[in-house]
Structure 1
């Protein structure tokens, strides 16, 4: 599974199962860094294995551009961008 910065992902394992996140960093191997702006802030992103995520086809371009260019992206921007994706999801994905 290939993911890019700013891509919206759904966690399918762990205590955050069923929550929506955005990819804020790419790590070595099969790991990515994810944030949601509230429980997982940009200052302390979650390092998660790709196999524990479901990638969506949605990429938040504004966040992807800010992160890749080195501009400051805020937690409020991430929360605001994820509002439309936060629909109730069964936690047993």
Structure 2
């Protein structure tokens, strides 16, 4: 099993945001702090238990390595991941 780390793109499995894509901004114990760049911005992160997220195969290296994170870059990343997942489903 992969270790959960900063910069990973994840999908919510539980709650009103079920199936929503997020980027992990930080990991603390059994919780992760997530952002989507729209409702959950860098100023208003979502706290979620690790058991309520599903890892995807996408990782943003800039975020993982501690680079500057902007809401617009998160939105672009999640939009491209969603498009790639849609293509994988169709094929």
TM-score higher than 0.5: yes
| Residue aligned with 2:4, SS | coil
Q: TM-score, normalised by structure 2?
A: 0.82
How far apart are 1:46 and its partner, in Å?
Answer: 0.4
Q: How does 1:48-59 map to 2 (within 5 A)?
A: 48-59=48-59
Cα deviation, 1:9-65, whole Å, max 9, x if unaligned, reads 0001001101000000111x2101010000100111101000000011211112222
Q: Indicate if the aligned counterparts of 1:10 and 1:54 stay in contact, CA closer than 8 A.
A: yes
Tell me how far apart the structure 2 counterparts of residues 79 and 64 of structure 1 sit (CA, whole Å). 16
What's the TM-score once normalised by structure 1's chain length?
Answer: 0.80
Structure 1 unmatched runs, 5+: none
Q: Which of structure 1's runs of 4+ aligned residues deviate more than 6 A?
A: none
Higher helix share: 2
Structure 2: 5+ residue stretches without partners: 87-91
Q: Which residue pairs with 2:35 in the alignment?
A: 35
| Residues 41 and 75, structure 1, Cα contact 8 Å, conserved in 2 | yes
